[in-house]
A and B are shown apart, each in its own frame.
Chain A
Amino acid sequence: MKQQLENIKAEAIEEIRKAKDSLKLDEVRVKFLGKKGALTGILRSMGGLSPEERPIIGKLANEIREDIECALEEALKQVKEKEKMARLSLESIDITMPGRNRDIGNLHPITKVLDEIKEIFFGMGFSIAEGPEVELDYYNFEALNIPKNHPARDEQDTFYISDSVVLRTQTSPVQIRTMEKIKPPIRIIAPGRVYRSDAVDATHSPTFHQIEGLVVDKGITMANLYGTLDTFAKKFFGEKTRTRFRPHHFPFTEPSAEMDISCHVCDGKGCRVCKGSGWIEILGSGMVHPDVLRKGRIDPEVYSGFAFGLGLERIVMKKFEIDDIRLFYENDVRFLKQF
């Protein structure tokens, strides 16, 4: 009987070894360990054994059952692992097929760049101010030291609604409106649409965007103006950007300055984009004229300030190398998708 048990074990181990899948293993389990299985048969026939033999054979039978179970378990684990590997390899997909995505739209390139600029100034403590686009002549011109018949009015060809109402030609009227509303310290930017009666072509549009800036406080200096704009230029155009301040004339600032940045295409060496000069003009600025502060009901003997204004379209065009301003207002989706 002992031999019989040993044979069963050997037979079972051999069959387990041969079994290729979990189904076959289960058959083996039934064959040897099942109710009608070989080992079960032996155990049943143990009644015919002597009391001395019974525990010995019983023990051996149990050991063999455990061995077989163990072997089965081990084999099953291996087979399952193999099966899993096989399944995983079958499940391989072509990951180069396109993803399933929702159509997402896009912001207009002008909005994108404006948002970027807003964030930079926001970080420097500037809030966003606004003013009307249909504006009183007073705010657009008079209060900014541009009386009737001033030559600057010819330079900014103006759309008139009536004698005293214009489409604002610049965002600068927001300076006066802001000073009327809040007391210093003032630190704002005022982005918005402006209008000039320029006929439409690749570089001219009768409507475009400007960003005005205004800072008024005690002890504001021209060095603060330069510092602020230099910081802006480096954050927006990159840390390596060099800036150049040049004297200029605006009726509402004194002293006035234009700022150039080193050309980002040629790094200042001179190229087509910067017309060989190495510099690109990006904005006008200056110390707020004392008359303008007075118009904003601020005492120029106590406070000083600076202001600046930059044209957004020009910057966006430089940034993305767009050569025709009309594209901004055509809204062809093939254009809008690119940014």
Chain B
Amino acid sequence: MKVPYKWLCEYVNLDKNINEVADALTISGSKVEEVIEFGKEIDKVVTGKIIKTEKHPDADKLTICKVDVKDEVIQIVTGASNIKEGDIVPVALHGSSLPGGVKIKRGKLRGVESNGMLCSEVELGIANENSVHGIMILKEDTPIGEDIKKILGLEGGIIDFEITSNRADCFSVYGIAREAAATFDKELKKIETSFNETDESINDYLSVEVKSSLCRRYAARMIKDVKIGPSPEWMQEKLRQCDIRPINNIVDITNYVMLELGQPMHAFDYRYIKGKKIIVRTAQDDEKFKTLDGVERNLNSSMLVIADGERPIGIAGVMGGENSEIKEDTTEVIFECANFDGTNVRLTSKKLGLRTDASSKFEKDIDPNLIDIALNRACHLVELLGAGKVAKGVIDIYENKVVPYTLEVSPQWINNFLGVNIQKERMKKILENLEMKVKGDDVFKIEVPTFRQDVKIKEDVAEEIIRIYGYDKIPVKKILGETVEAQWTLEQMLIKKVKNVMVFCGLYEAMTYSFTSPKVFSLINLPENHELRNTVNILNPLGEDFSIMKTTGIPSILECLGRNYKRDNKEAKLFEITKVYIPSGNNLPNEYDKLIIGMYGKVDFFDLKGVIENLLNILGIDKAEFEREENNSIFHPGRTANLIVRKKNAGVLGEIHPDVAENYEIEDRAYIAEIDLKTLFEAAKNEKRYKPLPKFPAISRDIAMLVDENISVSELEKVILREGKELIESVKLFDVYKGKQIPEGLRSLAFSLTFRAEDRTLKDEEVNKVHESIILKLKEKFNAQLR
């Protein structure tokens, strides 16, 4: 909300630089968004008198002026045609600056020396619609050699406040003045509201009926003998500074009062109020109404309207109607000064897509008692401007009067709660400056004015005191009391471990959105009836692409791989720990943590499997198996495995199906894993136990053989381990070969076996015996040919 600094100073004598005031108000709770200093960019521009003009010898359109700037007479060449000898004008001297970063320097124009520039209003940044073209001509009695900022009143500025929603009382110049008065401990001046009434009574012209409790108060005054015309410049200037376009004296008065006091008002042309009455009622469904801006609105029964005997003439708290607006020939005016339910105004304005200055004030729920001063102020201004005569009496429908609220709080409690030590007297003074009445000493009995609906409990009083006393005076104190021990949960520690393993395996952590498009299921080849297609849906998404909550993390990681591929990154190895959201049948879905891995580049299935094996190892999961998976449509049928942990499926890993890769525009083999962390963590062993180091040496033997290529390494390993009985310590595949010299359908595998006994040095004969039996079994079971 914009507050012109000069206007603010009319109510409170601040006597300070605009920036100091802005800073202090920020600290006391009225946050300043921006300070707009009018003349900030203007420097070294003074008033000067043109004492002589002559034509430029070489340029028809240029004039050479001799200008008296008090200390000296300087020569300036100008292209303007509206000047004459004797004019007093703004002169930008050599080395001066103007708005927009313009710097004025001495120079030559067509060979004639020019020591500055004569300025127009545009160049000074103060042009408005009344500005004349050409150099700004000042009044004849303007002193010369003076700073132009002083002459034009450009020394102040505008402070733009961010007002929080609980402080409806601050949405006005006077409201901010009250805050400033309390902040600087200065007197707040009263607002002039006196005026005279004529003998004719409003009651002879109008009656008002309020049919809805959404209107909390409705007051009206009548103005007779209205003479519509422009409002005075001082009023127009203030309106413009607050971004309101001046219209005519009557409308400007209503807007002026709104800015000054925060109470929106409306003016109706009396001649268009049919049936001499105003009825405040809810609209009918589909009732049509053309607002002041010329737009036809479709109303419904949730909206409150101001109607006359026949039709709506305004939407309550939002905008008036075209059918009753003030015209140039208006002679009788009804001022409406009312109070409406804030929520209703907000919803109406939202539904209509019509947010106005009035609605944005009403929606904060302003004080119904503000009407008295606002309506009187408007009448005072009518008289001051000579815009008309105020008829006798006021119509005021106000059923449930809002009265001041009283609460009790002890100063001791306030100090304890805040952790400060403020004197009682100081507290009292602060509250009184905020127009609260305080009685009592050890316990304050506080009467809160009705415009402070936000002060209801003792914590609110504490805030009032500390914000004026100064948040900067709150001391830094450590929390005392019972020691609280911080702890990581087991799950938090395991997640940390998972992330560390991923990073050390060369993977980069990714983060993706939790919502995605329902289209992703077809992109990953998921069957039509798959359970993962049952999703948690957002009612008001940003678009279809963000409309469902993830049930799998695979599509998002594929998108990331696709994006990296498209950007010519030769390799991408990513992981993400993400939540998936599975409908539960209850109010809230189940949220599960998944580990998603995605990679392409110089990698294959076994790189991915290696990462998973490392993870299992670090988590202490020994009973894990990889089971061939041929039927997962997301993946390559021959290059995919399920991870089985303690007989539970903990996830899947494999090469992505070429169709899916194509859908994500990855022209490379991509590898993906999705692992359920809960299943993994249930099997994780956090405790490890020491095993004594072997005391006796081991003996190694290698086996190389040809076997049918469909026989899996793990089948062979199982047989070797079983036959090796208690003597075999480990078996390790060290070579795989297929191709030349190997018959079709077979492959060559080489294993390294290690034998060891715990209690003795093994003899060759013992090992040979076991080794023989292993070979025998391999031949027998798999038809293995030893090489």
Q: Which residues of A contact B (CB under 8 A)?
A: 102-108, 110-111, 121-128, 132-136, 149, 151-152, 154-155, 159-162, 164-165, 167, 185-187, 193, 195, 197, 199-200, 206-207, 215, 217-224, 226-228, 230-231, 244-249, 254-258, 287, 289-290, 304, 328-334, 336-337
The answer to whether B504 has its CB under 8 Å from any CB of chain A is: yes
Q: Are the CB atoms of B486 and A159 closer together than 8 Å?
A: no
Q: Across the interface, name the chain B residue whose C-beta is closest to A335.
A: B508
Measured between alpha carbons, how far is A200 from B567 in the docked complex, in Å? 21
**Interface-located stretch among B100-108, B150-158, B194-202, B539-547:** B539-547
Contacting residues, chain B, for A333 (C-beta < 8 A): 508, 564, 569, 571-574
Q: Min CB distance, A181 to chain B, in Å? A: 13
Q: Are the CB atoms of B419 and A223 closer together than 8 Å?
A: yes
Q: Are the CB atoms of A104 and B506 closer together than 8 Å?
A: yes
The answer to whether B482 has its CB under 8 Å from any CB of chain A is: yes
A-B contact pairs, 23 of them (CB 8 A): A105-B573, A108-B509, A110-B511, A125-B479, A125-B484, A136-B588, A151-B165, A159-B515, A160-B540, A162-B587, A185-B481, A197-B541, A219-B416, A219-B481, A246-B29, A254-B459, A254-B463, A255-B459, A290-B457, A304-B417, A331-B508, A331-B512, A331-B564
Contacting residues, chain A, for B31 (C-beta < 8 A): 246, 248, 258
**Interface-located stretch among B78-86, B220-228, B470-478, B647-655:** B470-478
Q: Are the CB atoms of B509 and A247 closer together than 8 Å?
A: no
Given known pairs A127-B486, A221-B477, A227-B478, the reply for A336 and B508 (CB within 8 Å) is: yes
Contacting residues, chain A, for B487 (C-beta < 8 A): 127
The answer to whether B631 has its CB under 8 Å from any CB of chain A is: no
Q: Are the CB atoms of B418 and A331 closer together than 8 Å?
A: no
Contacting residues, chain B, for A199 (C-beta < 8 A): 542
Q: Across the interface, name the chain B residue whose C-beta is closest to A330.
A: B563
Given known pairs A151-B363, A185-B482, the reply for A159 and B505 (CB within 8 Å) is: no
Q: Across the interface, name the chain B residue whose C-beta is closest to A229.
A: B476
Measured between alpha carbons, how far is A328 from B460 in the docked complex, in Å? 40
Measured between alpha carbons, how far is A255 from B513 in the docked complex, in Å? 35
Q: Across the interface, name the chain B residue whose C-beta is closest to A189.
A: B486
Q: Are the CB atoms of B343 and A149 closer together than 8 Å?
A: yes
Given known pairs A111-B499, A331-B560, the reply for A222 and B417 (CB within 8 Å) is: yes
Given known pairs A249-B164, A290-B457, A330-B563, the reply for A105 and B471 (CB within 8 Å) is: no
Q: Are the CB atoms of B167 and A249 closer together than 8 Å?
A: yes
The one of A105, A186, A226, A330 in contact with B474, judged by C-beta atoms closer than 8 angstroms, is: A226
Q: Min CB distance, A256 to chain B, in Å? A: 7
Q: Could you mark each residue 359-383 of chain B with 1 if its beta carbon is under 8 Å from any beta carbon of chain A, else 0?
A: 0000110000000000000000000
Q: Min CB distance, A151 to chain B, in Å? A: 5
Contacting residues, chain A, for B560 (C-beta < 8 A): 330-331
The one of A110, A125, A127, A249 in contact with B483, judged by C-beta atoms closer than 8 angstroms, is: A125
The one of A125, A223, A248 in contact with B486, judged by C-beta atoms closer than 8 angstroms, is: A125
Q: Min CB distance, A261 to chain B, in Å? A: 14
Q: Across the interface, name the chain B residue whose C-beta is closest to A139.
A: B588
Q: Could you mark each residue 517-536 of chain B with 1 if its beta carbon is under 8 Å from any beta carbon of chain A, else 0?
A: 00000000000000000001
Task: Count B-side interface residues using an 8 Å CB cutoff.
Answer: 86
Q: Are the CB atoms of A105 and B483 closer together than 8 Å?
A: no
Measured between alpha carbons, how far is A277 from B487 in the docked complex, in Å? 39
Q: Min CB distance, A78 to chain B, in Å? A: 42
Q: Min CB distance, B558 to chain A, in Å? A: 11
Q: Min CB distance, B17 to chain A, in Å? A: 16
Q: Are the CB atoms of A331 and B474 closer together than 8 Å?
A: no
Q: Which residues of B contact A (CB under 8 A)?
A: 26-29, 31, 164-167, 343, 346-347, 350, 363-364, 416-420, 457, 459-460, 462-463, 466-467, 471-472, 474-489, 492, 499, 502-515, 536-542, 546, 549, 560, 563-564, 567, 569, 571-575, 579, 581, 587-589, 591
The one of A161, A221, A257, A287 in contact with B539, judged by C-beta atoms closer than 8 angstroms, is: A161
Q: Are the CB atoms of B416 and A221 closer together than 8 Å?
A: yes
Q: Across the interface, name the chain A residue whose C-beta is closest to B166.
A: A249
Given known pairs A195-B514, A247-B467, the reply for A223 and B363 (CB within 8 Å) is: no
The one of B27, B466, B489 in contact with A255, judged by C-beta atoms closer than 8 angstroms, is: B466
Measured between alpha carbons, how far is A176 from B504 in the docked complex, in Å? 38
Measured between alpha carbons, how far is A193 from B513 in the docked complex, in Å? 10
Measured between alpha carbons, how far is A215 from B484 in the docked complex, in Å? 10
Q: Min CB distance, B570 to chain A, in Å? A: 10
Q: Are the CB atoms of A164 and B486 closer together than 8 Å?
A: no
Contacting residues, chain A, for B471 (C-beta < 8 A): 244-247, 257
Measured between alpha carbons, how far is A249 from B504 in the docked complex, in Å? 45
Given known pairs A215-B479, A249-B165, A333-B508, the reply for A134 and B591 (CB within 8 Å) is: yes
The one of B346, B460, B479, B541 in contact with A217, judged by C-beta atoms closer than 8 angstroms, is: B479
Measured between alpha carbons, how far is A58 from B467 in the docked complex, in Å? 112
Measured between alpha carbons, how far is A246 from B22 in the docked complex, in Å? 13
Contacting residues, chain A, for B488 (C-beta < 8 A): 122, 127-128
Measured between alpha carbons, how far is A2 from B487 in the docked complex, in Å? 91
Q: Are the CB atoms of B26 and A246 closer together than 8 Å?
A: yes
Measured between alpha carbons, how far is A254 from B463 in the docked complex, in Å? 7
Contacting residues, chain A, for B508 (C-beta < 8 A): 105-106, 108, 331, 333, 336-337
Q: Are the CB atoms of A336 and B542 closer together than 8 Å?
A: no
Measured between alpha carbons, how far is A136 from B364 in the docked complex, in Å? 26
Q: Min CB distance, B55 to chain A, in Å? A: 47
Q: Min CB distance, B363 to chain A, in Å? A: 7
Q: Min CB distance, A204 to chain B, in Å? A: 11
9 smallest CB-CB distances across A and B, nearest first, come from A223-B419, A221-B419, A255-B463, A247-B29, A249-B164, A103-B506, A331-B510, A223-B477, A108-B509
Measured between alpha carbons, how far is A193 from B569 in the docked complex, in Å? 29
Q: Are the CB atoms of A247 and B572 closer together than 8 Å?
A: no
Most buried by A among B420, B462, B476, B489: B476
Q: Are the CB atoms of A132 and B588 closer together than 8 Å?
A: yes
Q: Are the CB atoms of A106 and B503 closer together than 8 Å?
A: yes
Measured between alpha carbons, how far is A10 from B563 in the docked complex, in Å? 85
Measured between alpha carbons, how far is A165 from B584 in the docked complex, in Å? 13
Q: Are the CB atoms of A125 and B485 closer together than 8 Å?
A: yes
Most buried by B among A159, A165, A167: A159
Contacting residues, chain A, for B507 (C-beta < 8 A): 105
Measured between alpha carbons, how far is A328 from B541 in the docked complex, in Å? 21
Q: Are the CB atoms of A329 and B504 closer together than 8 Å?
A: no
Q: Are the CB atoms of B480 and A219 closer together than 8 Å?
A: yes
Contacting residues, chain A, for B350 (C-beta < 8 A): 154
Most buried by B among A223, A245, A246, A333: A333
Measured between alpha carbons, how far is A185 from B480 in the docked complex, in Å? 11
Q: Are the CB atoms of B460 and A254 closer together than 8 Å?
A: yes
Q: Are the CB atoms of B467 and A255 closer together than 8 Å?
A: yes
Q: Are the CB atoms of A217 and B509 closer together than 8 Å?
A: no
Q: Are the CB atoms of A128 and B492 closer together than 8 Å?
A: yes
Contacting residues, chain B, for A126 (C-beta < 8 A): 484, 486
Measured between alpha carbons, how far is A151 from B168 in the docked complex, in Å? 12
Given known pairs A111-B499, A199-B542, the reply for A134 and B569 (CB within 8 Å) is: no
Most buried by A among B486, B510, B567, B588: B486
Q: Across the interface, name the chain A residue whose C-beta is closest to B539.
A: A160
Contacting residues, chain A, for B537 (C-beta < 8 A): 161
Given known pairs A107-B509, A160-B538, A248-B31, the reply for A290 and B476 (CB within 8 Å) is: no
Measured between alpha carbons, how far is A287 from B461 in the docked complex, in Å? 13
Q: Are the CB atoms of B514 and A133 closer together than 8 Å?
A: yes
Q: Across the interface, name the chain A residue whose C-beta is closest to B467.
A: A247
Contacting residues, chain B, for A287 (C-beta < 8 A): 417, 459, 462
